[in-house]
Amino acid sequence: MPHSYETDGAAIYRQSFATIRSEADLDRFDADEEQVAVRMIHAAGMVGLERHIRFSPGMVAAARRALEDGAPILCDARMVSEGITRFRLPAENEVICTLHDPSVPERAREMGNTRSAAALELWRPHLAGSVVAIGNAPTALFHLLNMLEDPECPRPAAIIGCPVGFVGAVESKDALWQVQPVPCVIVEGRLGGSAITVAAVNAIASRAE
């Protein structure tokens, strides 16, 4: 007997978002934040994630404005850059991931750091006014914060800072939240990841669900 299941993609999304809106506690988010939080919960498959999501004031508007003005999106991992739905982007924005540039392994050896952190050195020409999406590597977020301690370093318009894991994820996100060098969103704690980060970018890039 063949299995019966929903085959309409749009209906699947509608049903998912309706389920999230009925089960998640979204009251503390404004309308812009709620749209982004719903998509992050959707990507994680986890109602309850909302308790860990923190937006700095005006973050979604700042990131949206930057994208509409043509800002590039700088991603720590290809899992993030590949997940961004290009047709959602308001200005055919460039999506940049420098992690696999051939110069990065040698640069990482010289720096005594991970490839993820070393790859950010190649972001410098693109950083001003960009939207940063870090979904994997805590060392990338720490290195970005260190770069931004230099007042000469160009500043992004907004940071989606959601690295995941057990070593450095909690600490790097706490550091971003403490410093808030620019408007940002984080997922507190060990939770995070490329899918949740991509979902935030895709939600910010599109105005309404």
Ligand X SMILES: C/C1=C2N=C(/C=C3N=C(/C(C)=C4\N[C@@](C)([C@@H]5N=C1[C@](C)(CCC(=O)O)[C@H]5CC(=O)O)[C@@](C)(CC(=O)O)[C@@H]4CCC(=O)O)[C@@](C)(CC(=O)O)[C@@H]\3CCC(=O)O)C(C)(C)[C@@H]/2CCC(=O)O
Does residue 45 sit in helix, strand or coil?
coil
Active-site residue, selected from the candidate residues 3, 42, 52, 126: 42
Asked whether 158 and 63 are in contact (CB, 8 A), the reply is yes
Minimum distance from residue 7 beta carbon to ligand X (Å): 28
**CA dist 90 to 20, 59, 65, 94, 207, Å?**
26, 17, 10, 11, 10
Contact assessment for residue 89 and residue 69, using Cβ atoms and an 8 Å cutoff: no
Nearer to ligand X by Cβ, of 44 and 131: the residue is 44
Q: Least distance (Å) from ligand X to the CB of residue 13?
A: 21
3-state secondary structure of 58: coil
Q: How many Å apart are CA 32 and CA 7, to the nearest integer?
A: 29
Provide the token pair at 15: 């049903």
Which residue, chain included where needed, has tokens 């049903």?
Answer: 15
Q: Where are the alpha helices (DSSP H) in 78-137?
A: 78-83, 104-111, 115-118
Assess whether 42 carries a catalytic annotation: yes
CB of 74 to ligand X, least distance (A): 13
* Closer residue to ligand X in complex, CB, 109/124: 109
Contacts with ligand X, residue ranges (CB under 6 A): 77-79, 99, 114-116, 135-140, 163-169, 193-195
183 vs 192 by CB, closer to ligand X: 192
Rounded Cα distance between 109 and 112, Å, is 5
CB of 69 to ligand X, least distance (A): 27
The residue (of 64 and 161) whose beta carbon lies closer to ligand X is 161
**Which residues are known catalytic residues?**
42
